[in-house]
Structure 1
Amino acid sequence: MFQAGFTRLDQTSTDFWLGLQVYNSHNRQPASSPHQRAPQRDSSLCEPPQLLSAALKPLCPTQLFYCIPNNRREEDMAKDDKKNEWKEFFWNPRTREFCGRTASSWGLIFLFYLAFYIFLAGLFTLTMYVMLLTLDDNTPTYQDRLATPGMMIRPKGEDLEITYTKENTESWDMYVQALNRFLSPYNDSVQEQKNQECTPDQYFIQADSSNLRNNPKRSCQFKRSILEDCSGLSDRYYGYSDGKPCIIIKLNRVIGMLPGKDGQTPSVSCGPKADDTDKMGEVVYFPRNGTFNLMYYPYYGKKAQVNYSQPLVAIKFLNITLNTEVNVECKINANNIPTNNERDKFAGRISFKLKINSRN
């Protein structure tokens, strides 16, 4: 037989201490013995015992009582104090402070930062306005450009690789469409309407006179028909259906550049790379000799020279080796444009791959 006792939790506490007192009644002496007494509950720790209800006594013939130690009560009071401190920090109803500051204090802080950021915005706006006054809409004040302009081809394919099968129309039709879109602004009728005929083999200088701007500046005609067999007029497939494709080369625009010195006209030359010397075959250039006529220079910028037509050079491959990838390199030939810069392989030159497959 065992006898157990528990203590009751005070209503204001969230923790309780469960005390269990167990002893073997077989060793307990009668209560009437003068030498022995039954174990007593420490009255300093526990309240008077409250017995279980009559309905539970048959099931649990033990006495239960609940007790709250003094140190637990102190911990609960400390927790309540911390909660009250946090609540008063966010909102103190006595001083009417929010996060430790009154409404007037928060208002002064808001006004300070509002004035501070308005000042910064005004300073930034003034700086940008003064800087814009030093810029020219037509000509860059500082032209950070390469000493040598780059080159690009059309169609450029994917990663400058042009591969197709001449018997398969779908494999080369996208190249034909790309050339049609690129050459549409060069139609003869469009050029005659927008641009003027210029004197060949000399620069078309259009200088400004003192404070008077000579804008918009005029542009010289570059008609599509100049490209002859690669114009898409006589052969609407640009030779792709016959395995004799046309590639169009353009020199990137650089404001104020004069590409020839002492009246020498710059030109384009293409050739195979070292391993493909016997694979490229014969090529022909349009216009003849692959020249960029001097009358299309200098270029004055997109805003000053709205209708500028960039000169082009077309290359037609006549008997390239079929079913073989050929590496081709084209470069500009001019006495004031270097093309041997190993650090920049696209300065004044361009390399691309061409592979024409045939089922025959």
Structure 2
Amino acid sequence: MADKSKVAEQYYAPPPELGKWEGFRVFLWNSETGQFLGRTGSSWAKILLFYLIFYLILVGFFAAMLTIFYQTLDSKMPKWQLDASLIGSNPGLGFRPMPDSDKVESTLIYYRANDKGSVLKWATVIDEFLSQYHKKGSGSGEAPGAENRVPCSTTSANLGEKQVCDVPIDEFHPCTPANQYNYEEAGPCVFLKLNKIFNWVPKPYNNTEDLPTNMPEDLKQHIKLVSGKKEANTVWVSCEGENPADVENIGPVQYIPRRGFPAYYYPFTNKEGYLSPLVAVLFEKPRTGVLINIECKAWAKNIFYDRYERRGSVHFELMVDRG
């Protein structure tokens, strides 16, 4: 008689060997266990519920952090200004036209005065840059904020809460679109603008008592002529050849419509419709067929110059060919 206290011996039977495709089919759906991709329906429900809750909490956390962050920002005014900001309080100069974007490291303006295609290339670049300046405030809604632009002068620049000074682009003759900015005459125009810094107010050199020693003599003479007048409240501009050979080759230079940026355009406070003032520099007769290195500087008591770091100045090269 068998001893019932003894447990019947059990043997492990390995699963039947399946082929590659048969094993894959069973992995996709196992009819015996009811598993899909190795998990039962309840297992899939649990893991999906876990990740749903996890990502909802994660999204909610980041949404809360972004909401708190945006509460500290002002869409019209930077939190950090002037010396407290990364930009600082020393504006630089920019120039137009600039070379193609694929030549980002180049600052060379090169063209052939007798080649209409070469002239048109640069004229088109300037047209695009000046397009916003040609959109006047007529109430037609051509440009956002264009209706806020009003004529200003040294004698009248009292602005309303939303008003900004217009830039009279029609005063830039011969640096005009109709004249192709004088490029065909081998005397090209280059437009200068002062980089925007929020709430920065210039401190102009408006008399001859405190002029820096390194200021060009012709600019000193110009300041002497306007000293004591309202038009002296200007961020002055000068353009010269960088080296002795460049000084000889650059030829006469004109500044249109005036030799700098009037102080009534400042401070920049991000009002809608604001445009940076411009100075068109006309190089009347640069020597052709020669590369000329040019440096333009902005002059004010609170603009500090450093050639190597390009502070308060801009460098570009000009080369005009006749053929």
TM-score normalised according to structure 2 size: 0.70
Match of 2:273 in 1: 307
Matching of residues 126-165 of structure 1 within 5 Å: 126-143=64-81, 144-147=85-88, 148-158=90-100, 159-165=106-112
AA aligned to 1:107 is: A
Q: Could you say if the C-alpha distance between residues 130 and 79 of structure 1 is closer, same or farther in structure 2, counting changes exceeding 3 Å?
A: closer
Rounded to whole Å, the distance in 2 between the matches of 1:89 and 1:167 is 76
Q: Could you tell me whether the CA contact under 8 Å between 2:204 and 2:299 is conserved in 1?
A: no
Rounded to whole Å, the distance in 1 between the matches of 2:171 and 2:33 is 89
Q: Could you tell me whether the CA contact under 8 Å between 2:157 and 2:165 is conserved in 1?
A: no
AA aligned to 2:71 is: L
Q: Does 1:265 align with 2:208?
A: no
Q: Could you tell me whether the CA contact under 8 Å between 1:155 and 1:248 is conserved in 2?
A: yes
Aligned residue among 166, 177, 181 for 1:238: 181
Match of 2:56 in 1: 118
Matching of residues 58-73 of structure 1 within 5 Å: none
Percent identical across equivalent pairs?
Answer: 30
What residue ranges of structure 1 are gaps of 5+ in the alignment?
Answer: 1-76, 207-213
Deviations along 1:114-165, whole A, 9 cap, x unmatched? 1111111111112112222221121122354422223221222343211122
The structure whose residues are more often strand, as a share, is 2
3-state secondary structure, aligned to 2:187: coil
Rounded to whole Å, the distance in 2 between the matches of 1:191 and 1:100 is 69
Deviations along 1:165-187, whole A, 9 cap, x unmatched? 22222221222233334334434
Q: Could you say if the C-alpha distance between residues 111 and 291 of structure 1 is closer, same or farther in structure 2, counting changes exceeding 3 Å?
A: same
Matching of residues 281-300 of structure 1 within 5 Å: 281-288=251-258, 290-300=259-269
Q: Does 1:352 align with 2:316?
A: yes
Rounded to whole Å, the distance in 2 between the matches of 1:350 and 1:330 is 5
- State the Cα RMSD in Å: 3.3
The structure whose residues are more often helix, as a share, is 2
The structural deviation recorded for 1:291 is: 1.2
Q: Could you say if the C-alpha distance between residues 271 and 201 of structure 1 is closer, same or farther in structure 2, counting changes exceeding 3 Å?
A: farther
Rounded to whole Å, the distance in 1 between the matches of 2:128 and 2:35 is 71
TM-score normalised according to structure 1 size: 0.64
Rounded to whole Å, the distance in 2 between the matches of 1:100 and 1:182 is 63
Q: Does 1:336 align with 2:283?
A: no
3-state secondary structure, aligned to 1:239: helix
Q: Could you say if the C-alpha distance between residues 201 and 155 of structure 1 is closer, same or farther in structure 2, counting changes exceeding 3 Å?
A: farther
The structural deviation recorded for 1:94 is: 4.8
3-state secondary structure, aligned to 1:153: strand
Aligned residue among 272, 275, 278 for 2:248: 278
Rounded to whole Å, the distance in 2 between the matches of 1:124 and 1:179 is 44
Rounded to whole Å, the distance in 1 between the matches of 2:267 and 2:165 is 11
Q: Could you say if the C-alpha distance between residues 110 and 237 of structure 1 is closer, same or farther in structure 2, counting changes exceeding 3 Å?
A: closer
Aligned residue among 148, 161, 174 for 2:121: 174
3-state secondary structure, aligned to 1:250: strand
Matching of residues 189-200 of structure 1 within 5 Å: 190=136, 194=147, 195-198=149-152, 200=154
Aligned residue among 87, 109, 123 for 2:47: 109
AA aligned to 1:265 is: T
Deviates more, 1:244-253 or 1:175-184: 175-184
Match of 1:71 in 2: none
Q: Could you tell me whether the CA contact under 8 Å between 1:164 and 1:356 is conserved in 2?
A: yes
The structural deviation recorded for 1:313 is: 0.7
The structural deviation recorded for 1:83 is: 6.9
Q: Could you tell me whether the CA contact under 8 Å between 1:202 and 1:294 is conserved in 2?
A: no
Rounded to whole Å, the distance in 2 between the matches of 1:197 and 1:245 is 28
The structural deviation recorded for 1:285 is: 0.9
Q: Could you say if the C-alpha distance between residues 277 and 95 of structure 1 is closer, same or farther in structure 2, counting changes exceeding 3 Å?
A: same
AA aligned to 2:295 is: E
The structural deviation recorded for 1:340 is: 0.9
3-state secondary structure, aligned to 1:238: helix
Q: Could you say if the C-alpha distance between residues 149 and 321 of structure 1 is closer, same or farther in structure 2, counting changes exceeding 3 Å?
A: same
Deviations along 1:60-94, whole A, 9 cap, x unmatched? xxxxxxxxxxxxxxxxx98955879x788776655
Rounded to whole Å, the distance in 2 between the matches of 1:99 and 1:170 is 66
The structural deviation recorded for 1:325 is: 1.0
The structural deviation recorded for 1:201 is: 7.9
Higher-Rg structure is 1
Which is bigger in relative contact order (C-alpha 8 A, separation at least 6)? Answer: 2
